[in-house]
Structure 1
Amino acid sequence: MDVSTAVWKKASRSNESGDACIELASNGEMVAVRDSKDADGPTLLIGHREFRQFANVLKSL
């Protein structure tokens, strides 16, 4: 996934101060995750199915 042209969306639970935020982008097959405070930093790429499973685990915590 080419993240240089990705459209990033900030997490809905993000606050005005920007603490502990992530941003997500997707191309339908992969989900890219990055730290919103470090847009040029590392990006984690996860398969769409695996990301959905991961999100479901987080929701159950």
Structure 2
Amino acid sequence: MNTTDLAWFKSSYSGSSGDDCIEISPSPTTIHIRDSKEKDGPQLAVPAQSWAAFVAYAAQAGAAR
């Protein structure tokens, strides 16, 4: 997949300047992740199931605070 064809989304929690966050681009089997400040920089690609497990863990850890 050509990553320039992906639709990227920033978190609704990012600051008003919008440059202190990550962006993700979901596809059916893979979640692509990049630094919002480095759009042409390195990117991660993780299986969608692994991303879902990470988000569930982060939500659970955040609720425990």
The two structures have a TM-score, normalised by structure 1, of: 0.89
Partner of 2:8: 8
RCO higher in structure (CA 8 A, sep ≥6): 1
Establish whether residue 36 from structure 1 lines up as the match of residue 36 from structure 2. yes
Aligned partner of residue 46 in structure 1, secondary structure: strand
Partner of 1:54: 54
Aligned partner of residue 38 in structure 2, secondary structure: coil
- The one-letter amino acid of 1:7's match is A
Gapped runs of 5+ residues in structure 1?
Answer: none
**Higher gyration radius (CA):** 2
Matched residues in 2 for 1:41 and 1:10: separation? 16
What is the CA distance between 1:4 and its match in structure 2?
A: 1.5
- Corresponding residue pairs, total: 61
The two structures have a TM-score, normalised by structure 2, of: 0.84
Matched residues in 2 for 1:3 and 1:27: separation? 11
Identity %: 33
Aligned partner of residue 23 in structure 1, secondary structure: strand
Gapped runs of 5+ residues in structure 2?
Answer: none
